[in-house]
Homo-oligomer: A and B are copies of this chain.
Amino acid sequence: MSEDRGDIQALIAQIARLPGLGPRSARRIVLHLIRKRAGQMSQLASLMAEVAENSRECAICGNISDQTVCAICEDARRATGEICVVTDVADLWALERGRAFHGRYHVLGGSLSALDEIGPDDLRIPALIARISDEHVTEVILALAATVEGQTTAHYIAEALAPTGVTVTGLAQGVPIGGELDYLDDGTITAALRARRRL
């Protein structure tokens, strides 16, 4: 295309590489931003630069924060003796949106995977074990994905924590709230049936 569009083309290419986007949606976003350049675009650019500059992993739990230690780990009210182990910060955010958990988190940063050569030391598992005694933890809740990788990781962690004597629990599996049986996969129905409860 025209030679003077180098920067715009580069911006489109970068945005197209973001998860869930492609060249078409990137072009649409860039055009939208250019139309509003006075306001939205410079604001977005400076906010992005600020977040890029300031955000770091919490030294204790791996959550994303603009402090060395995140607000959840700083908050004394959340020292409930429960640690919820999640794969990723996105999962931590999802649990926080639910407002049902009042303890602290531990972000693994991935799942064990022989294929991708991700071992326990890549996943902040040693740091988790260290926290058990440091923080007088009584229960570790493994809120990991109900996938093969997630469950392999959960199994590994449960084994690794066995010597500490801490209670290790996992999320219940079953029919999601509002879920119609007709639309559920067989695996979920089977799991929900196996874990059936007396009413």
- CB neighbours (8 Å) of A47 from chain B are 7, 10-11, 14
- CB neighbours (8 Å) of A96 from chain B are 1-2
Shortest distance from the beta carbon of A86 to any chain B beta carbon, whole Å = 12
Contact with B along A15-34 (1 / 0, CB 8 A): 10111110001011111111
- CB neighbours (8 Å) of A28 from chain B are 19-20, 90
Interface check A50, CB cutoff 8 A = yes
Copies of this protein in the assembly total 2
Of B14, B29, B64, which is within 8 A of A34 by CB? B64
Interface check A197, CB cutoff 8 A = no
A interface residues, Cβ below 8 angstroms from B: 1-5, 7-8, 10-11, 14-15, 17-21, 25, 27-34, 37, 40-55, 63-67, 70-72, 88-90, 93, 96-97
Instruction: Please determine whether A51 and B34 come into contact, CB atoms closer than 8 angstroms.
Output: yes
Instruction: Please determine whether A2 and B65 come into contact, CB atoms closer than 8 angstroms.
Output: yes
With A3-B71, A31-B89, A89-B31 known as contacts, the answer to whether A37 contacts B52 (CB < 8 A) is yes
Instruction: Please determine whether B42 and A53 come into contact, CB atoms closer than 8 angstroms.
Output: yes
Instruction: Please determine whether A49 and B55 come into contact, CB atoms closer than 8 angstroms.
Output: no
Instruction: Please determine whether A52 and B33 come into contact, CB atoms closer than 8 angstroms.
Output: yes
State the CA gap A70–B4 with chains docked (Å): 7
With A33-B52, A51-B34 known as contacts, the answer to whether A40 contacts B14 (CB < 8 A) is yes
Ranked 8 nearest A-B pairs via Cβ: A2-B71, A45-B48, A45-B49, A41-B52, A4-B71, A42-B52, A37-B52, A1-B96
With A25-B20, A48-B48, A71-B5 known as contacts, the answer to whether A55 contacts B34 (CB < 8 A) is yes
Minimal Cβ-Cβ distance residue in B for A21: B29
State the CA gap A41–B44 with chains docked (Å): 12
